Amino acid sequence: MARLVLCVLALAASGLADPAHKVLPQKQADNALLQKQLDLSTLFYHVHEPLHVPELVAIADSWDVEKNIDHYSNITAVKVFGELYEYGLLYRNMPFHVLDRYHGFEAQTLYNVLWSAKDYDTFYKTAVWFRQHVNEYLFVYVYSTAILHRPDTQGVVIPPIYEIFPEFFTNSEVLTTAQRVNVHGLRMVEHYPTTYVWENNVVVKENMTIWPYYYNDEVKVNYFTWDQGLNAFYYNWHLAYPKWLGGDVTPLVKDRRGEWFWYIHKQLLTRYYMERLSNGLGEIPELSWSAPIKTGIWSGLQYYKGIFFPTRPNNFVLNQDYFVNEIIRIQDFERRVREAIDLGYVINNVGEHINIHTPEAIDILGRVIECNVDSPNSKFYGDFITLWKGLLGNSLEHTEYNQLYHGHIPEILPSVLEHYQTALRDPAFYLIWKRVLNIFKMWQESLPMYKLEELAYPTVSIKNVEVDKLVTYFENTYMNITNQLHMTEHEAKRFEDDVSVLVQRPRLNHKVFQVRVKVNSEAAKTVVVRFFLAPKYDSLGNEIPLKENWENFFQLDQFTYDLVQGENVIKRDSTQNLWTVDDWTTAHEFYAKSESALHGKGSVIVDQSQRFDGYPQRLLLPKGRVGGMPFVFVVYISEYRAPKVPFGQGFDPAMSLGFGSGARFLTDDPLGFPLNKPVYDWQIQHLKNFWVQDVTIYHKHTPEIYLPHLE
């Protein structure tokens, strides 16, 4: 296996550590898991091409899903798949769009076949057959989701989407240069001004933050919105909780999936807002029917088929004949959700009223707004977010006059906004989500405010908080895009690349910092400690009062701590955050290590330290400014409330993230507590366990990396 970077990602506040010991459980990978890792990783290699390994080709040629129907528990799925295959599946190289109903139905059918394989051998052979005969985008999506959720593939590390499909993460200018290098080898490297040789790799330099073909000020924050780790995180979160997956077979509703849906997008929007302020871009614009969308999108991304992603010009006008039907549907669906909030209940699909005027109902509201399979009435409340994406993405598929078909299958050209792995790069994503979060906010403001006894912890008193100097900087990172390049006949025979091509791009990082909290406790007890960060001033330089700023707080960390009676000093390094991940082991190293361990040389430890659903650790802090930029830092300490389902019940925390178990939570508190609904200064001014102070974030310029910055 050649050079495929493997990663796994995490997110603050989900809770995978043992609350008593605060350590990640570990397990040494046995030979069965090591063999699965090697076998399953191989199918992600050069997915745009057919299989080259003779043993895999033999399996693909001999295995017949329908003739082995007894090997699957979901007989219906196998029969439906057979009918789809006879009628015609999505062709190879065609863009796949999971939000399209036809493409989505194929994905669900193939997933149900894979998931229902009664044993690992059947699953593997089915996956090999799919790899050879199914559209590659569809295959990777379904295959990855199945690995995540099947019990017998827990512990297997899935390659990051940016290594499998580099076309979603780097523009066609870079890929064209890389393809030329792939053909010419090292002899032509010096001819290209953006390339150089580094060890055994050819490196192509890219900097999307100063890309000259991006025609608006949003380019200033491209280092954040184009960050490969951030975009992979968002994609991975979707694989963990696909909107179409749930019900009784995979009960994701146990994980409070609706609340997660709100929390993740709230976290993303607050981080983006702080990057905007760091670069002088101002407030996130409101999304309105009557005003044009000022910021367009020219991603430069190109599908493997050769077609460019759709673009949206600046000052994009919504008042067009093409969009009338979509606009009417969006207005109807949004109005129904707002009316439900006003009434205090939603109507399920049999006409019953479900109360949503309780704090716990955020899970119901989240499922309604996402329009996932666990929504009480998806048809009535509708999927207005997907409609918004189609509208603002300016995709040709969403204009009824330009629909093309290959047989019965719609040929779709999804926009950047319509893929989970690219959506964060479009400024319209944040416009949509500001609008959606305002709907959540409408509900949050309808709830009773927190009472003093709900926020206070009388026996615990924060005496002082010290935070190290907060410094951000840019550094170069390297992404392997070799998987995108055509293999020569010689490479295909050896199943190894002769040329390895990396993309060099700048990324934001910060120096390691420590927070020290001096606490006095009247008794020995276990508590939950939370850190939050928010902007101090808005884009006009006005200080943001807490009654408005509560929705701008980004949760930096959450952990349990055992206080002793009397004085305590809690010391927390930014690297101790269990819910974030650092850089990931490359696939070449991981594959070699797994192979060596399988042959008795060394070992592989499985401990979820590089979790699949994680947030990049280096993006905890916004960029700030060279001369310093003030932010608000909050420390909140609350009583430890055990989750309703004990952590780790029903799954092995060393091997699995426990999706659908309901046992993934550190505490029974709401996500983002206590800043999950409006909080006022008068509520917290006498709290001894709620500490607010100013911090300053400095940006240190890196001379060899050119990026615009504010002094």
CA distance 172 to 225: 18
Q: Are 12 and 556 in contact (CB under 8 A)?
A: yes
The predicted structure's pLDDT at residue 402: 58
Of 5, 52, 29, nearest to 487 by C-alpha is 52
Neighbours of 684 (CB within 10 A): 20
Q: What are φ and ψ of residue 489, in 5° steps? A: -60, -35
Helix (H) or strand (E) holding 624: none
Q: Are 49 and 272 in contact (CB under 8 A)?
A: no
Question: Based on the number of CB atoms within 10 Å of its own CB, is 24 exposed (0-12), middle (13-18) or buried (19 or more)?
Answer: middle
* Dihedral angle over CA of 486, 488, 493, 495, nearest 10: -40
Residue type, 687: L
Helix, coil or strand: residue 507: strand
**H-state helical runs in 515-575:** 546-549
CA distance 257 to 243: 10
Residue type, 404: L
| Sheet with strand 629-639: strands edge to edge | 195-198, 201-205, 500-510, 470-480, 690-700, 629-639, 525-535, 554-563
Looking at residue 309, the DSSP 8-state letter turns out to be P
User: Greatest CA span in the chain, whole angstroms?
Assistant: 74
pLDDT in tens, 144-160: 999 999 999 999 999 99
For the chain, the structural domain boundaries read: 17-26+453-469+511-580+613-711, 30-154, 221-446
Helix (H) or strand (E) holding 383: none
CA distance 66 to 21: 49
Domain 221-446 has what CATH class?
A: mainly alpha
The predicted structure's pLDDT at residue 396: 62
Q: Which residues of 558-592 are buried (b: 16+ CB within 10 A; e: fewer)?
A: bbbbebeeeebebebebeebbbbbeebebbbebbe
Looking at residue 185, the DSSP 8-state letter turns out to be G
Low-confidence ranges of the chain (pLDDT < 70): 1-23, 396-404, 406-407, 708-711
**CATH-assigned architecture of domain 17-26+453-469+511-580+613-711:** Sandwich (2.60)
Which tokens sit at 81? Answer: 């798949």
Neighbours of 399 (CB within 10 A): 15
The predicted structure's pLDDT at residue 711: 60
The predicted structure's pLDDT at residue 8: 29
Question: Based on the number of CB atoms within 10 Å of its own CB, is 688 exposed (0-12), middle (13-18) or buried (19 or more)?
Answer: middle
What pTM was estimated for this model as a whole? Answer: 0.94
The predicted structure's pLDDT at residue 215: 78
Looking at residue 405, the DSSP 8-state letter turns out to be E
Q: Give the β-pairing of 554-563 and 409-411.
A: unpaired
Is the bond preceding 410 in cis, omega lying within 30 degrees of 0? no
The predicted structure's pLDDT at residue 611: 84
Which tokens sit at 28? Answer: 């040494």
Which tokens sit at 202? Answer: 């050819």
CA distance 416 to 403: 19
pLDDT in tens, 671-702: 999 999 999 999 999 999 999 999 999 999 98
Q: Are 129 and 60 in contact (CB under 8 A)?
A: yes
Q: How many CA atoms lie within 13 A of 205 on its CB side?
A: 15
Write the DSSP assignment of 646-685 as a string of letters.
-TTTTS-TTT---TTSS---S-SSPTTTTTTS---HHHHT
Q: Are 270 and 430 in contact (CB under 8 A)?
A: no
The predicted structure's pLDDT at residue 248: 83
Kindly report the CATH number that applies to the domain delimited by 30-154.
Answer: 1.20.1370.10
CA distance 648 to 193: 53
Q: Are 285 and 431 in contact (CB under 8 A)?
A: yes
List of residues 6+ apart from 38 with CB closer than 8 A: 1, 591, 594, 595, 598
Of 285, 442, 291, 426, nearest to 362 by C-alpha is 442
The predicted structure's pLDDT at residue 343: 97
The predicted structure's pLDDT at residue 572: 96
The predicted structure's pLDDT at residue 188: 79
CA distance 273 to 102: 36
Helix, coil or strand: residue 515: strand
Neighbours of 90 (CB within 10 A): 26
CA distance 244 to 101: 11
